[in-house]
Structure 1
Amino acid sequence: MKQAMDILALFGALSDETRLRICFLASEMELTVGEIAQALGQSQPRVSRHLRILDEAGIVARRKEGAWTFVTLLLPDDSPVRALMRKVSGETARAVAADAKRLEAIRIERAETASRWFNARSQQWDMLRQLHAPEEDIEAAIASALAGRPLGTLVDVGTGTGRMLELFAPGSDAAIGIDRSPDMLRIARVRLEAAGEAVQASLRQGDMFALPLADAFADTVILHQVLHFAHQPRAAIDEAARVLGAGGRLVLVDFEAHGREELRRLHGHQRLGFADGAVEQMLKLAGLAPRPPQRVEGGELTVTVWSADRPAPRKRRAA
């Protein structure tokens, strides 16, 4: 919620039943403008006008993601305004209940769309998984690399299906997943919602070379099976290091250098894995201090978990 919220603008925005219904919908999950229009049974232009008023009052935020615009409610769960909203009755309460039923249909539609997209590619992904150690072994190595320090604010770059957020967001103060693909973000949303309230994370569309985050924003950054898609791996590491604050940790998970050329053609890999020395050099050039890597063997391809810390600034000695 914006700090300098005008109380008249706030109550003026919420005095309209449609805008109040929009707030109830947005309190359940992040929705596109089209999904809100579907749940309300109203046109998108009309919904957009109401959203502009709510945005100007600091009640919601609108965020572009490709051709879609997502809407997030900015009112905290424990705000007095949310408490007042829960006291609605009569026709408005019945309208809110009907909206909730239509919202459930939207949830199902999201899940089915994500499932179709995932299933169309599952054969290729299954083939790739057969080339390396079981996922649970790799995830255990990642957990080990993250152990021994608070996760703080977690950023998962190239979040894909959202698996890293599902595993580690519950132990963080805040978690954000970033991916360039709207289709992958759709899958991640379905997955995180299915995980329930234990996984609190937000998702944003963005490029690994230009993350939509401020300098030193994060305490923990993960790049899980992302770097081999990068034309310029060092640039991706530099960008991850940029958003990492002092004392933070970067964890890279990728294949050790290999010769499986077909992965370029079948999976779009730009790099056939990485040697330890090359990764260590890129980490140092990004201003990070590498830690000993962990190898996860168990297939034709070895997965390595590299990690590095952002050194805290040295304190000046008193004169």
Structure 2
Amino acid sequence: MEDAVDVLKAIGEPTRMRLLILLSQSDLTVSDLTDILGQSQPRISRHLKLLADAGLIERYQEGAWAYFRSIKEGRNANLLRQIIEGLSRDDKILSHDHERLVSVKETRAAKAQEYFSLNAESWEEIRRHHVPEERVEKELCNIIGSAPINSLLDLGTGTGRILELLQGQYRRGLGVDASHRMLTIARDKLDKAGITHASVRQGDIFNLSFERQSFDLIIIHQVLHFLYDPAPAIKEATKMLSPGGRMVVIDFAPHDLDYLRSDFAHARLGFPHETVAEWMKSQGLDVEKISDLTPQNEQDQKLTVTIWMGKDPRLLIAEQSESGLARV
């Protein structure tokens, strides 16, 4: 009851309530919120600090920009959700806020489309050289199965496609990428798909700033070939796996298209089965699946894509230990 009273005190002001409603729909900056609410930056910042101090919103840095979003887990999140859902959508102020939010998202979309248009030719050149993405996604879904996923971490999220593909399975999704421009595209895609249980952050795959052992599925899709030394990235990702969690790596099999180094910044020309498997095993993961997606005919010059899946054995070990103690 005391927690509920504290929450109600924190949101018991019109501007803070409006902020919470907006941040429940999208990750936004102070500048975004200033444009939407038509209030000064110091005033918005002060309200955001009060909400953050009350543990109702999260703040994360992306280069020079700070983004805010409402909390998605815990009792306070459930209470906030009930309060927001109980508000009338016919309220004139909230309707105006929603219209302004749509405008902000449209601006994001325009920036994303501009970047995509400038780089579409190079992207299509890469896609032309490997098996169709539809085959890769279908095999990925077959490998991870249909069981619910509590928390998903997508490293090198790019345009956020994995978060979009698996949106119906995970309860909480997080995409990480080093490129601010790619994250602009990803946010636009999540907005258009109405995906509010996932967000994206700028981050370093070698130095992740998240709570350890907090994700039960980690996907590293077409990232390792950009790294001169991918092993430390596997090591860092493994620290994020919860007991019994799984890691899926998707990348190219060995190939000889050397121009991908100079023209598209590929540091590695694919990986043999045993290389990625050994990186996983060295971090204590059991390699449960390796799947090759090869060209469908000999004349096809497309690259083979390989999928590796490793599993953290700690949950199984714990269950076996408990079972053994029970028998004694």
Q: Do these two structures clear the TM 0.5 threshold for a shared fold by scoring above it?
A: yes
- Root mean square deviation, CA, Å: 2.5
Structure 2: state its 5+ residue gaps. 296-300
* Superposed displacement of residue 43, structure 1: 2.6
Alignment of 1:280-295 (within 5 A): 280-295=277-292
* Superposed displacement of residue 152, structure 1: 3.1
For 2:201, the equivalent position in structure 1 comes to 204
For 2:141, the equivalent position in structure 1 comes to 143
User: Which of 232, 236, 243 is equivalent to 1:235?
Assistant: 232
For 2:310, the equivalent position in structure 1 comes to 308
SS in structure 1 at match of 2:158:
coil
Aligned counterparts of 1:252 and 1:84: Cα–Cα separation in 2: 39
SS in structure 1 at match of 2:303:
coil
SS in structure 2 at match of 1:293:
strand
* Superposed displacement of residue 288, structure 1: 0.9
Asked if structure 2 preserves the Cα contact closer than 8 Å seen for 1:5 and 1:58, the reply is no
SS in structure 2 at match of 1:231:
coil
User: Which of 34, 37, 53 is equivalent to 1:37?
Assistant: 34
* Superposed displacement of residue 70, structure 1: 1.1
For 1:115, the equivalent position in structure 2 comes to 113
Structure 1: state its 5+ residue gaps. none
* Superposed displacement of residue 176, structure 1: 1.4
* Superposed displacement of residue 225, structure 1: 0.2
Aligned counterparts of 2:83 and 2:148: Cα–Cα separation in 1: 31
Note the alpha carbon deviations across 1:153-175, whole angstroms, 9 max, x for none: 21111111111111113112322
User: Which of 97, 101, 104 is equivalent to 2:102?
Assistant: 104
Asked if structure 2 preserves the Cα contact closer than 8 Å seen for 1:161 and 1:188, the reply is yes
Relative to the length of structure 2, the TM-score reads 0.86
Alignment of 1:16-35 (within 5 A): 16-35=13-32
% identical equivalent positions:
36
* Superposed displacement of residue 297, structure 1: 1.6
Alignment of 1:157-236 (within 5 A): 157-197=155-195, 200-236=197-233
Aligned counterparts of 1:257 and 1:84: Cα–Cα separation in 2: 52
Note the alpha carbon deviations across 1:119-163, whole angstroms, 9 max, x for none: 111100100111011110111121122127543321111111111
Is residue 49 from structure 1 mapped to residue 41 from structure 2 by the alignment? Answer: no
For 1:277, the equivalent position in structure 2 comes to 274
* Superposed displacement of residue 4, structure 1: 7.2
AA aligned opposite 1:213: F
Count the aligned residue pairs: 312
